[in-house]
Amino acid sequence: MTTPSRAVTVAVSETGPWALCGGPSCRHAARVNGSITLEAIAARFRALGDPTRLRVVAELTLGTRCVCELRDRVEVSGPLLSHHLTVLRDAGLVTSERRGRWVDYTLTRQGRDAVAHLDLDPSRSSR
């Protein structure tokens, strides 16, 4: 016999190192009575659970980067980098801004808060 699934919600601070979900930029954030679903928090953890995406985030902790700079520094193909940036953007961890032909990426407040407790040093990043 299976039990029916129920949505579980949790109240999460909007600031601090565990501000894993929140704000209008997180399209996975399903809020119920001001709480954030565990699924929304899991989406942020999944976004940060890939070594390539962590390398991207480490680069962005140093400031805004053009996608071409990220491609050279993270050393992945353009299409693969695009996929990883989309995952990070959908999770509300980065934003993008078009500048002519170029696209610049920046960590959001939620992205900075989520990785503030991590020791992300891009110079130590190994492939």
Q: What is the pLDDT of residues 96-107, one digit of tens each?
A: 999 999 999 999
93, two tokens: 């961890």
Q: What is the pLDDT of residues 9-46, one digit of tens each?
A: 444 444 443 444 444 444 444 555 556 678 878 888 89
Closest CA to 35 of 14, 5, 6, 16: 14
The full set of domain ranges for the chain reads: 9-124
Strands in 9-10's sheet, in edge-to-edge order, are 9-10, 35-37, 31-32
Burial 74-108 (b: 16+ CB within 10 A, else e): bebeeeebeebbebbbebbbbbeeeeeeebbbebb
Q: What is the pLDDT of residues 41-72, one digit of tens each?
A: 888 889 999 999 999 999 999 999 999 999 99
The residue among 43 and 123 whose pLDDT is bigger is 43
Tell me the fold of 9-124.
Answer: Arc Repressor Mutant, subunit A (1.10.10)
Question: What's residue 6's pLDDT?
Answer: 46
